Structure 1
Amino acid sequence: MLDALTRAIELNQLKVGDRLPPEIEIAQGLGISRAKVREALTSWQNMGIVTRNKKAGTRLAAEVSSNAIQLPVTVKLEAESLLRTHAVRRPLEIETVRLAAKNCDETHRRIIIARCAELLAVYEAGEDWRPADYRFHAALQDACGNPLFGQLIQQIQQGFNEIYEAPFGRAHLGQASIPLHGPMADAVVAGDVEQAAALMEQILALVEGEIREVMQVMGQGDD
């Protein structure tokens, strides 16, 4: 669906700021339902790739094009989308662990320890650690005392996941950061606000570094 939509944008030679054709016109041109077009555009809106307004219509907010690499959209688009998501999540994630370290009670501490142990065990076993990672971060969000943090982080992540199940074709992007989750959990449980925040910053920096490294490698491979 996204490949077809990308090709349609290229075919119309649309650039950043240009208005997309109406949904019904796109659907007819691609031979798909209008509902699928709307779903795809909504996902792109969540990622900041398009803007949508009743009066102004749907306009491109980021460059969209295909390339020789067999990805749903270009490496550039995927990387920019992921980095944009990451930049928004960064302050939310850091403040979440600050608040969790400050506010968590004994029940939350037990859950955080258990979720972290689960995450590290799955990681060390070489299994898919993503569900365990989600549960661990959900425990931190529950412990922070403000449900809005969890809601915002999950909404941002969902917007990206609706487009990319495995960024750059790598299902475990950010794996190098998993060992740091143990010390971070210890800092939260110990109530060490600054150490917990510093470790989350390191985790986020590792993830961003991996995104940029993969982008660079793929860009070189396309030369």
Structure 2
Amino acid sequence: MQLVSVKKQNTFDATVSMIGRYIVENKLGEGARLPPETELAGRLGVSRNILREAMQHYRTLGIITSAPKMGASVAKLLPENPYGNYLPFLEASRDAVLPELIQMRYAVETGAGRFMTAGATPERLARLEALADELDRTGEEARRLELDGELHAELLRLPGNALFTGLIPLVIDFFRQLRPEPKTQLTRERIGREHRDIIAALRGGDTEHLVRLLGSHIEIYFTERSDDDGAAAR
């Protein structure tokens, strides 16, 4: 793809779009260098300030990285946290967002469950066991929440699917940050038992049982909707 001058109207958006097209259409992979800033700005017909703002868009997504004297290069083609810029706004709408986030986490974890067993190597299972062990031993609540998030993030990494992994900051980390209230009392023993059952299902390659366990582990956060809103969330 040849870089051409962008239109003056909507200059920032057009610059962002053109840089993205340049990366995709030229099949630039990880580590590929982009043209120097001065050259790129000149070929696009935009100021260096506009170019830098557009490049920052891709840096925020983790797609572009820069190093002194090396310029900009492609870091990866899939953003690590596509929702990162929106989390403050989602948090400001917590009451409306939380029920939808609970549903999304349920759908993501149970959907990914069918692909987790393939990635459940002895090393990954040992990592899950270690997290479960530490969670059982830890009494400090903040650390327990952190460990629980790490364990569920490891589960979503098992399929080796970059799109699942990219959702971890939203459906695991942000979910933990919002601190939803379960509809039934959660004890340390129950949490530990459910985690152990999930790991055992993975170890045994029992995909159907694993999916059921993942679902029941999240269903405790579902709340009943009023008749006007339709059926119960679960």
For the residues of structure 2 that align with 1:183 and 1:107, how far apart are their CA atoms?
A: 18
Kindly, what percent of the aligned residue pairs are identical? 20
TM-aligned CA distance change 1:47 to 1:110, over 3 Å: same
For the residues of structure 2 that align with 1:120 and 1:198, how far apart are their CA atoms?
A: 22
For the residues of structure 1 that align with 2:161 and 2:222, how far apart are their CA atoms?
A: 26
Matched letter for residue 142 of structure 1: R
Query: TM-score when scaled to structure 1?
Result: 0.50
1:103-137: per-residue Cα shift (whole Å, max 9, x none)?
32121121122122222332xx4644101101111
Is 1:92 matched up with 2:108? Answer: yes
Matched letter for residue 108 of structure 1: R
For the residues of structure 2 that align with 1:112 and 1:160, how far apart are their CA atoms?
A: 20
TM-aligned CA distance change 1:94 to 1:174, over 3 Å: farther
For the residues of structure 2 that align with 1:134 and 1:174, how far apart are their CA atoms?
A: 19
Contact 1:98 1:197 in 2 (8 A): yes
Is 1:116 matched up with 2:132? Answer: yes
TM-aligned CA distance change 1:99 to 1:119, over 3 Å: farther
Contact 1:174 1:207 in 2 (8 A): no
2:210 corresponds to: 196
2:156 corresponds to: 141
Give the one of 202, 208, 221 matched to 1:207: 221
Matched letter for residue 102 of structure 1: A
Contact 1:97 1:200 in 2 (8 A): yes
Contact 1:115 1:139 in 2 (8 A): no
1:181 corresponds to: 195
Give the one of 126, 135, 145 matched to 1:130: 145
Q: Which has the higher contact order (CA 8 A, sep 6+)?
A: 1
| Structure 1 residue 201, shift from structure 2 partner | 0.8
Query: TM-score when scaled to structure 2?
Result: 0.48
- 3-state SS of 2:160 partner: coil
| Structure 1 residue 144, shift from structure 2 partner | 1.9
- 3-state SS of 1:180 partner: helix
1:152-189: per-residue Cα shift (whole Å, max 9, x none)?
13234555566x4x446x9xx98456131111111112
Point out where structure 2 has 5 or more consecutive residues left out of the alignment.
1-84, 226-234
For the residues of structure 2 that align with 1:137 and 1:151, how far apart are their CA atoms?
A: 13
| Structure 1 residue 204, shift from structure 2 partner | 1.0
For the residues of structure 2 that align with 1:90 and 1:188, how far apart are their CA atoms?
A: 18
2:117 corresponds to: 101
Aligned residues: 137
Contact 2:129 2:199 in 1 (8 A): yes
- Structure whose alpha-carbon radius of gyration is higher: 2
For the residues of structure 2 that align with 1:42 and 1:141, how far apart are their CA atoms?
A: 21
Contact 1:43 1:160 in 2 (8 A): no
For the residues of structure 2 that align with 1:161 and 1:191, how far apart are their CA atoms?
A: 28
- 3-state SS of 2:220 partner: helix
Greater helix fraction, Structure 1 or Structure 2: 1
Give the one of 153, 164, 173 matched to 2:168: 153
